Structure 1
């Protein structure tokens, strides 16, 4: 991270906390940024630093004015459009960057060799490798977060099915009463209903566990 980013990091963090002070706002912002909610919470708590690229992404996604995050603000300073975007989880742009700050390359020269000694072999510059590792990690997180979004949609769909189970059972019982099938058919219908509900609950547990495992990938 450059000197400007280092100096502004406390201001950025304070404004990020301000934007996510309401219950559930941090989770909504993370989804709007297609980003890990657990990593965002680490940023808010001061356990992880983040880049100017991420800050500009927050401004674009929430509809904040350019460079709004660079100055301290209070609750009343949050624009209504940005608050509406957060409340309704309606991103104004799509963020495809990374939050990880890129370390500056060292400009220090190696010490001169002592007279009579052979100069030591120069150490390999790992800066390029570190940048590439950050890019690869950012790519992993981007694909992971897209997958997490889809899993969350499936989880919400299973949690709130389009047809209410008790209502469906009542309708089928009305059909059974009207048709008066024999005991074998009646038992078969009741068994099908029970199996459908049981398998829906089992599938929901598997999807929830899948979401939990996916959300941790790339954060270690």
Structure 2
């Protein structure tokens, strides 16, 4: 729903494309804004319009100067601080608004129905739509918070404080220094193998969990 009185929408969209030109930047910015990745794709492709509130939110979350989105920019003109905020997925503010443009009130009112029931039903339907949207937005925010923790766990598993190869070398030193053989040596080696096996299994479970969370609430 494009607001014909606001000619800045095309500029906002072009700047949004410039901000998210790098691979994965669009997805990271969507998470920073706690917004639907599906709606983000539609905005970038021009299939969905968005509000000035969202444009101001992009500036606040990425640390762009106020009004930056209102002036055409190329990708090379994106400030380094804003680029770093998106690359590292570190929002500088919390966006609590909406991307949807606010519908302008019409001057002319539609003709009143002869009977009051259709109008009442229409009001109830609109109220139900608003409530459904509110619940969906809340669900996505809660889901995205959970996904942030899952991503942190995934990064921790991928970069453990102690590398397994280094640990195995030290255990080999212990075996050699103690001239261990038999059950003790087999137990030490077996424990290392189990640690490596379960670490890989845990990484797969974390990846699957992240994929499942990412699909929830995106059917629209």
Q: What is the TM-score with the length of structure 1 in the denominator?
A: 0.83
**For residues 132 and 70 of structure 1, do their structure 2 counterparts lie closer, same or farther at Cα, with a shift above 3 Å needed?**
farther
**Matched residue pairs, number?**
215
Query: 1:75 is matched with which residue?
Result: 75
8 Å CA contact 1:51–1:100 kept in 2: the answer is: yes
Q: CA deviation at 1:192?
A: 0.8
Query: What RMSD over aligned residues (CA atoms) do the two structures have, in Å?
Result: 2.7
Query: 1:40 is matched with which residue?
Result: 40
> Over residues 88-135 of structure 1, what are the superposed CA-to-partner deviations in whole Å (9 max), with x where a residue is unaligned?
44322122333344556776413776xxxxx57433223332222221
SS at match of 1:211: helix
**For residues 192 and 127 of structure 1, do their structure 2 counterparts lie closer, same or farther at Cα, with a shift above 3 Å needed?**
same
My pick for the range that moved more, 179-188 or 67-76, is 67-76
Runs of 5+ consecutive residues of structure 1 not aligned to the other structure: 114-118
My pick for the range that moved more, 175-184 or 141-150, is 175-184
Question: Partners in 2 of 1:155 and 1:111 — Cα distance?
Answer: 58
8 Å CA contact 2:2–2:49 kept in 1: the answer is: no
Output aligned runs, 1:44-123, within 5 Å.
44-101=44-101, 103=103, 108-110=109-111, 119=115, 121-123=117-119
> Over residues 49-83 of structure 1, what are the superposed CA-to-partner deviations in whole Å (9 max), with x where a residue is unaligned?
43433222111011112232233222354334323
My pick for the range that moved more, 88-97 or 52-61, is 88-97
Question: Partners in 2 of 1:90 and 1:172 — Cα distance?
Answer: 39
8 Å CA contact 1:25–1:86 kept in 2: the answer is: yes
My pick for the range that moved more, 125-134 or 169-178, is 125-134
Q: What is the TM-score with the length of structure 2 in the denominator?
A: 0.83
SS at match of 2:72: coil
8 Å CA contact 2:32–2:61 kept in 1: the answer is: yes
> Over residues 157-203 of structure 1, what are the superposed CA-to-partner deviations in whole Å (9 max), with x where a residue is unaligned?
11111111111111101101111223111111111111111111111
Q: CA deviation at 1:34?
A: 3.5
**For residues 177 and 80 of structure 1, do their structure 2 counterparts lie closer, same or farther at Cα, with a shift above 3 Å needed?**
closer
